[in-house]
Amino acid sequence: MIKGGACLGNSLTFIEQITPDFLAELYALSTEKAVSAGSVLYMDGDRADYLYLISSGQVKLTKTTVDGKELTLQVFGAGELVGLAGLFEANLTYDASAEMLEGGAVRPIPLAGLEQLLSSHGEYSVPFMRWMGMMNRRMQSKFRDLLLNGKVGALYSTLIRMCNTYGEERPDGIYIQLSLTNRDLAQFIGLTRESVNRMLADLKRQQVIDLLPHGHILIKDLRYLKETICCDDCPPEICRL
């Protein structure tokens, strides 16, 4: 199971990007409920009637390919909003599945209620659209790396994103506060566990990373990863998991 900690990057969560009044309105539309690890919030293809504001815990978004492979798209923590498939359209469906990685609490927000709120309070639309744009740029950036950089580049860019999302600076490198198996890591980039094992072993031999107990990774040479894939140095709020 993936477990996270504090972030190296300074990206703001969804609730930190909106006004207290807007947040209070969202709270009024929803009721907090407890959810256990492994619970499914929604499945790919389900009717998109709700968004989920995460109060605590972690949510993993995944997409399953036609040949049965599971690709992890993003991992979200407290303060984030998941489940937005669109606005002001009829018969929207979710384009991914959402599962609780760590138990916590969420607030289901009716999409119809959000649409009415944005229609009647134009001042809330600007920060919401800004957040939507940032999320789209984040996903486009990840897909670009997966498509253009090949298998090795996909792994390297994922490690860079982990640094920005879960990295802790230490004297000997950047400690990724995300405990995950090689299978978990493979699902972030659509590769087999065996391929990831070989690439991580190569990076360890080159002293670029160190593999620590309990599924943690220490990035000892971040510059090498960035230079190898000609990293664009996207802002931390974009270059994230």
pLDDT in tens, the chain (241 residues): 333 443 444 567 899 889 999 999 999 999 999 999 999 999 999 999 999 999 999 899 998 877 777 888 888 889 999 998 888 888 899 989 999 988 999 999 999 999 999 999 999 999 999 888 888 887 777 777 776 777 788 888 889 888 888 888 999 999 988 777 888 888 888 788 888 889 999 999 999 999 988 888 999 999 998 888 877 777 767 777 7
User: Per DSSP, which regions of the chain are E strands?
Assistant: 33-35, 40-42, 50-64, 70-76, 81-82, 97-110, 167-170, 173-176, 209-211, 217-219
pTM: 0.78
pLDDT at 1: 37
For 198-222, what is each residue's pLDDT tens digit? 999 999 999 999 998 888 899 999 9
Q: What angle do CA 227, 229, 233 make, to 5 degrees?
A: 70
Q: Give the Cα separation of 54 and 32 in Å (integer).
A: 9
- 3-class DSSP state for residue 201? helix
